[in-house]
């Protein structure tokens, strides 16, 4: 089978021919129907120095995956042909956090543990070997693997962050979403579907702000030096109850810190490498700061239900596997509204 691989750090991905995996006991071989191109892959390819992550190379890219059960190992009771989404953060399954379905915070694996597309072979290939059936969620009727693939990260990650802020997102509260890209346009929809908050979208690109408007944002703010002033004006000086920073740069974290209300929450999702200074007099009183990572298995079920009932839809542009490098180039150039998805076959 053909696969797009990370072959070395600080190196463009390359295609390789690999044997189709044979599932062992408890494993499932998935025929890939969609693999999302995540901006974090660009950090992986070009920004991370050798030795930063304890991952052997090469490995196949692609950590947002969906497809169909193709073959199963001994002890697995799944029918071939079943359409499934792949839950990405593969934990141990037995520790305290994994027992609740929060395998994204597995307590038993190293900080840089390997999962599909992140150290282990992922879904930028014709087939993906999944180590356990518990990592597969059947797709609701009407939702194709190409539509579902980005929901496994680009929707699940902001859904998890928003869930952590539910206590402050009371009716009439304000939520700010910084960065309206693959995750941000879905974060706006999740806020609209699951809260009664006023939604302020912040970005530098007019087309991104227009996408946020179509997704349900109430107010659009350009991410300029005075973005926090616009947020304060829109909230009559109070600030936002929750700020989701899906970029994570110094500039966006500064906007977040100056836009949040007393007692509010800043949720850091983006991998922009920024630093948020926190001090008694430099941060509004009572503010909590939460870096979040991916989401839980129960939350993926909830995300797929939102999509099935029409409350959540990823803006998707597709490429065939043979042109997967073009998809990565388009994401790097910032020309993809929403999410890029590679569709093998």
Domain 2-152+295-343 class?
Answer: alpha beta
What does the pLDDT look like over 91-100, one tens digit per residue?
999 999 999 9
CB atoms within 10 A of CB 296: 22
Return the CATH fold of 156-291: Rossmann fold (3.40.50)
Q: Which of 142, 140, 91 is nearest to 113 (CA)?
A: 91
Q: What is the residue-averaged pLDDT of the chain?
A: 95
β-bridge mates for residue 2, sequence order:
17
- Residue 70: what pLDDT? 98
CA angle 33, 313, 137 (to 5 degrees): 50
Tens digits of residue pLDDT in 68-82: 999 999 999 999 999
Say what the pTM is: 0.95
Cα separation, 324 vs 327, in Å, equals: 5
Angle 151-90-82 (CA atoms, 0-180°, nearest 5)? 55
Strand partners, 5: 14, 60
Q: 111-125, 193-207, 319-333: which has the minimum mean pLDDT? A: 111-125
The three-class DSSP label of residue 59 is strand
| Sequence spans of domains, the chain | 2-152+295-343, 156-291
The pLDDT assigned to 224 comes to 83
């Amino acid at each position: 089978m053909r696969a797009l691989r990370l072959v070395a750090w600080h190196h463009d991905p390359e295609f390789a021919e690999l044997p189709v995996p044979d599932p062992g006991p408890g494993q499932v071989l998935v025929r890939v129907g969609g693999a999302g191109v995540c901006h974090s892959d660009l950090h992986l390819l070009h920004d991370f120095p050798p030795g930063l992550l304890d991952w052997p190379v090469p490995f196949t890219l692609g950590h947002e995956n969906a497809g169909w059960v193709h073959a199963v190992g001994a002890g697995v009771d799944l029918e071939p042909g079943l359409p499934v989404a792949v839950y990405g953060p593969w934990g141990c399954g037995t520790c305290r956090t994994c027992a609740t379905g929060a395998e994204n915070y597995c307590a038993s694996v190293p900080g840089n543990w390997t999962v599909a597309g992140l150290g282990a072979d992922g879904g930028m290939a014709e087939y993906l070997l999944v180590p356990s059936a518990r990592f597969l969620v059947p797709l609701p009727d009407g939702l194709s693997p190409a539509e579902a693939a980005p929901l496994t990260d680009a929707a699940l990650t902001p859904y998890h962050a928003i869930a952590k802020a539910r206590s402050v997102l009371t009716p009439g509260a304000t939520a700010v979403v910084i960065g309206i890209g693959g995750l941000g346009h879905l974060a706006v929809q999740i806020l609209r579907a699951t809260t009664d908050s006023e939604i302020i979208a912040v970005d530098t690109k007019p087309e991104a702000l227009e996408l946020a408007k179509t997704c349900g944002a109430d107010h659009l703010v350009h991410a300029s030096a005075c973005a926090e002033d616009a947020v304060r004006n829109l909230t009559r000086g109070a600030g936002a109850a929750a700020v989701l920073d899906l970029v994570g740069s110094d500039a966006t974290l500064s906007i977040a810190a100056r836009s949040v209300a007393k007692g509010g929450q800043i949720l850091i999702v983006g991998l922009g490498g920024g630093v948020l200074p926190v001090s008694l007099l430099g941060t509004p009183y009572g503010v909590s700061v939460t870096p979040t990572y991916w989401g839980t298995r129960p939350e993926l079920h909830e995300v797929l239900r939102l999509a099935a009932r029409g409350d959540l839809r990823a803006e998707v542009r597709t490429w065939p596997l043979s042109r997967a490098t073009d998809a990565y180039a388009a994401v790097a150039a910032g020309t993809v509204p929403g999410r890029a998805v590679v569709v093998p076959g």
